[in-house]
Amino acid sequence: MNSNNVLIYDTTLRDGTQGEGISFSVTDKLLIAEKLDQFGVDYIEGGYPGSNPRDITFFQEVKNIRFKHAKLAAFGSTRRAGGKASDDSQLRTLLDSNVPVLTLVGKTWTLHVTEILRTTLEENLAMIEDSAAFLVANGREVIHDAEHFFDGYKNNPDYALRTLAAAIKGGASNLTLCDTNGGTMVDEFKDIVARVVKEFGADKVGVHCHNDSGLGVALSLAGISAGASLVQGTVNGYGERTGNANLITILPNLFLKMGRTAHCAVNLHQLRDLSLYFDELANLRPDTKSAYVGASAFAHKGGLHANAALKVKSSYEHIDPALVGNRTRVLVSDLAGRSSIAMKSKELGYEIDEKSPAMKGLIDELKELEFRGYEFEAADASLKLLLAKSLGQKKSSFELESYRVIVERRGPELSLVAEATVKLRINGELVHTVAEGTGPVGALDKALRLALEGVFPVLKTTRLTDYKVRILDSRQSANARTRVLIETTDGHSIWGTVGVSDNIIDASWEALRDAVEYKLQQA
């Protein structure tokens, strides 16, 4: 294997699903396996094929997928103490899964051998060797997961190395060193990996890190730097406790910073899409602060920063965002200067001369609005409408005459019902609609759409996807000013709008109004 090449082992479907709030259906797991193969990872670990009905079904169904590159791995542990590998039901289950790679977890820390397994140190060595040899004799590639290796090495280095030697003697192709508790520091980690590489060879060593000390990615990269040739991790760092090493951060660091390569390196430009795909299936909101792929990873807010990035992108961006499928974003706030506004305007489709009166008026208005509590960082649609208004290009599709919202408990069961009444003037004609909902904002949104959809059928494809409320000054108690952020989609694109008022319903109305106005401006 080329010394610069790294094998990428994904354990999202096993270790990742142990994370709090992470749950994938069988269909999700099959889709994930296909996606990882398309991206080009080398190993996909699917879990233990006998642990639960979901994993059992997954290993049955995954046989219908033809992987282009990746090898599917099943995960299990060494034989029971005092038994024979050939008679071990768990090892038989692994073989029956008919996958090409079997990953076996083995104990390397004397504490776990004597206190958890309750067996002797010599028997543990035999368990590791026998299990690997049995599976290899049956035609499988075996990866040895050296559980708690770093804690074990620090406690008894000679014994920890003997466990690895036993796995090699049994025919294991790789010794993956696991920082299971996630507590090892980088320098110590690197020294230990280097020692193992010296003993067994770089092509035999891998690393598997957890993020309990916030060092999962750093440790993984240190392991590769020390000579390991395989790295395990999960997409988006999903995993138990604080998570596993995040492959989405590891990969660009390996390829763009460390000069390493892998089969999936050619698909690095799909990295952001891969990250978002997993969050979508996990029903998680993407982390905007995520390195490389987050929405904020290449976002510039300060005027000086935006101006510098406009002139020389590398002045405030450590890589070209397109390399990982991301893009530069300019955030408009009361910190923005003329350059920031000009860049953002161009991004939204408007050209504004930095020295024009329109620019000065726009900057003044933005700063006043932000002072009052408006925030446009997540509300590009509202900002675009404001730009159009400043340039005299905004054409209102409707005018509000009045709206009213009533919330009451009604009927024998005192069910909670909200009723909204909206009066709009559309093309000179008055349109009056009434709608009900379980909440006041939902009822108001429904009444607004009822009034508009007859004239503007394009709105029938749009729907609210998110609604956020922020109290801007809690010291004002119930009279505090409220900011509402709304996210809307038409199935193809998503846009954000904002409203601010002392009244939460009025703030919601502003954001709802902008949401439909934006869609109508695009139509």
373-391+461-523 maps to CATH 3.40.50.150: no
E strands in 313-398: 329-330
Q: Would you state the structure tokens that stand for residue 198, as one six-digit string?
A: 């010296």
**What's the rounded Cα separation, in Å, for the pair 142 and 128?**
11
DSSP for 259-324 reads --B-GGGGGGGGHHHHHHHHHHHHT----TT-TTTSTTTTEE-SHHHHHHHHH-GGGT-SS-GGGG
The answer for residues whose C-beta is within 8 angstroms of residue 31's C-beta and 6 or more apart is 281
Q: Name the residue ranges covered by the structural domains of the chain.
A: 7-282, 299-371, 373-391+461-523, 398-455
pTM beyond 0.85, yes or no: no
7-282 maps to CATH 3.30.540.10: no
Cβ pair 121, 113 in contact under 8 A: yes
Cβ pair 225, 264 in contact under 8 A: no
Do 7-282 and 373-391+461-523 show the same overall fold? no
The residue type of 299 is A
398-455 CATH choice from 3.30.160, 1.10.150, 3.30.365, 3.40.50: 3.30.160
Which residue has tokens 């003044």? 364
Q: Would you state the structure tokens that stand for residue 378, as one six-digit string?
A: 């997540």
List C-alpha distances in Å: 399 to 425, 430, 484, 503.
5, 9, 21, 20
Exposed, middle or buried: residue 237 (CB in 10 Å: 0-12, 13-18, 19+)? Answer: buried
- What tens-digit pLDDT sequence spans the chain (523 residues)? 567 899 999 999 999 999 998 989 999 999 999 999 999 999 999 999 987 888 899 999 999 999 999 999 999 999 999 999 999 999 999 999 999 999 999 999 999 899 888 999 999 999 999 999 999 999 999 999 999 999 999 999 999 999 999 999 999 999 999 999 999 999 999 999 999 999 999 999 999 999 999 999 999 999 999 999 999 999 999 999 999 999 999 999 999 999 999 999 999 999 999 998 998 888 888 898 999 999 888 877 655 555 555 555 656 788 999 999 988 776 665 445 566 676 666 767 777 766 777 777 777 777 788 778 887 777 888 888 888 887 777 778 899 999 999 999 888 888 889 999 999 999 889 999 999 998 999 999 999 999 999 999 999 999 988 898 888 776 666 667 899 999 999 888 889 999 999 899 999 999 999 999 999 988 6
